[in-house]
């Protein structure tokens, strides 16, 4: 398990670029809000902790993880952001729907990273159980939203090169 030996919320602030002059978009899935709100909180707290001004964090909600790609694309086109964090949670059910949503969402986010000059960070939990999602959205494994925010800051700095 990738997170067994790593807390998703731990970062060395001394190694993170100051985010004061960066503008971030966060696109949040409304599906599994008990998980996505935890991920959003982790991302927002980390961005603020690293110097992002509150007015430079723009949040949009979309119905589900499948819609994260379109929401992220429109965010890039209209909000002049330095990076976007796409937040979602897909939990395995009894049908193949899980596989299709996870694959399409990952491919869509990847496509945006190839097609645009704005990094889009994949903060979509794809867990087998609700407990696994809880553990990674502020639970025993920390918060994937925090990790995604740190990645967004680092990628925004690279974009400015």
User: Which residues are marked as active site?
Assistant: 97
Kindly report the CA angle at 58 between 44 and 108, in degrees rounded to 5? Answer: 90
Strand bridging mode 120-127 / 83-91: parallel
For 50, half-sphere exposure in the C-beta direction (CA atoms, 13 angstrom radius) is 33
Say whether 81 counts as a known binding-site residue. Answer: no
Q: What tokens does 108 get?
A: 């869509």
Say whether 65 counts as a known binding-site residue. Answer: yes
Q: Which of 13, 114, 107, 124 lies closest to 62 in space, CA to CA? A: 124
Say whether 60 counts as a known binding-site residue. Answer: no
Spell out where 80-119 has E strands. Answer: 83-91
Say whether 122 counts as a known binding-site residue. Answer: yes
Say whether 29 counts as a known binding-site residue. Answer: no
Say whether 136 counts as a known binding-site residue. Answer: yes
Q: Contact, 104 vs 66, CB < 8 A?
A: yes
Say whether 140 counts as a known binding-site residue. Answer: no
Enumerate the known binding-site residues for (2S)-2-hydroxy-3-oxobutyl phosphate.
94-95, 136
Enumerate the known binding-site residues for 5-amino-6-(D-ribitylamino)uracil.
31, 65-67, 89-91, 122
Enumerate the known binding-site residues.
31, 65-67, 89-91, 94-95, 122, 136
């Amino acid at each position: 398990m990738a997170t067994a030996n790593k807390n998703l919320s731990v970062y060395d602030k001394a190694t993170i670029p100051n985010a004061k002059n960066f503008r971030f978009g966060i696109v949040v899935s409304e599906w599994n809000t008990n998980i996505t709100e935890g991920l959003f909180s982790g991302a927002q707290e980390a961005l603020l902790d690293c110097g992002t001004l509150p007015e430079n964090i723009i949040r949009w909600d979309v119905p589900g993880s499948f819609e994260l790609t379109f929401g992220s694309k429109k965010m890039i086109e209209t909000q002049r952001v330095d990076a976007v964090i796409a937040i979602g949670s897909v939990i395995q059910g009894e049908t193949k729907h899980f596989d299709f949503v996870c694959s399409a969402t990952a491919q869509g986010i990847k496509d945006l990273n190839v097609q645009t000059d704005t990094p889009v960070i994949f903060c979509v939990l794809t867990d087998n159980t609700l407990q696994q999602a809880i553990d990674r959205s502020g639970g025993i494994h920390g918060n994937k939203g925090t990790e995604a925010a740190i990645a967004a800051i680092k990628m925004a700095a690279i974009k400015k090169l």
